[in-house]
Amino acid sequence: MLIFMISRVMPGDPARTALGPRAPEWRVQDLREEMHLDKSLPVQYYFWVRGILHGDLGKSLFTQRPVIVDIKNSLPVTLELALFGTSFMVIFGIVLGIISIRYSQTFVDNIVRVIAYIGVVTPSFVFAILFMLLFGYVLRVLPTMGRLTEGVVSPPTITNMITIDALITGNFPVFWDAFKHLLMPGVSLPLTPI
């Protein structure tokens, strides 16, 4: 209910926003009718809840596909990044914690503490930009876009997570290429929680 109300309280006409300022008025009116925006709030809410209960999350105004299809395509990619980032966070967080405890109140502990402070006050997107500049453009050792290098053939889709699919099929060159693409975002996201 909160999501529904927030989407209705936001300023502007959703149909006009979706189609842009140059869309003809008849097309905007058609989209309003299609999205039930021409009806009262209780009726709009009824259609919204009915759609959700039937698994119909609507059609993406950006991709023009059903939202559920976009989620199905994007969820494995997001999970792959989240699994990698979480693994990195847990491993390096524990290692830095052990180092800090082992060398408590020493120069090493102070270095770990400074690294922790920098991680806490710096947003993940800043790390991502710095990594892209350093490793993608200055040193040119990591790719900056995509999930695979152009020309590299994706392994057969099993989980839709390229690194996992490549490992399952034993395609280690594709795994390595996908891993390199995953490295910068997978390391920059968990630096703040570490």
For residue 2, the model assigns a pLDDT of 86
Q: Which pLDDT tens digit goes with each residue over 7-53?
A: 778 888 888 888 888 889 999 999 889 888 889 989 999 998 999 89
pLDDT bucket at 6, cuts 50 / 70 / 90? confident
Reported as a pLDDT band with limits 50, 70 and 90, residue 121 is very high
Token pair for residue 145? Answer: 């876009």
Query: Average pLDDT over the chain, rounded to whole?
Result: 91
**In angstroms, rounded to a whole number, what is the distance separating the alpha carbons of residues 151 and 129?**
26
pLDDT in tens, 64-109: 899 899 999 899 999 999 999 999 999 999 999 999 999 999 999 9
* CA-based radius of gyration for the chain: 23
DSSP 12-75: S-HHHHHH-TTS-HHHHHHHHHHTTTTS-HHHHHHHHHHHHHTT---B-TTTSSBHHHHHHHHH
Give the per-residue pLDDT at 13. 82
Break the chain into its structural domains and give their ranges.
2-56, 73-191
Residue 130 pLDDT > 80: yes
pTM of the model: 0.74
What is the tens place of the pLDDT at every residue in 150-165? 999 999 999 989 999 9
- Give phi and psi for 66, each to the nearest 5: -60, 140
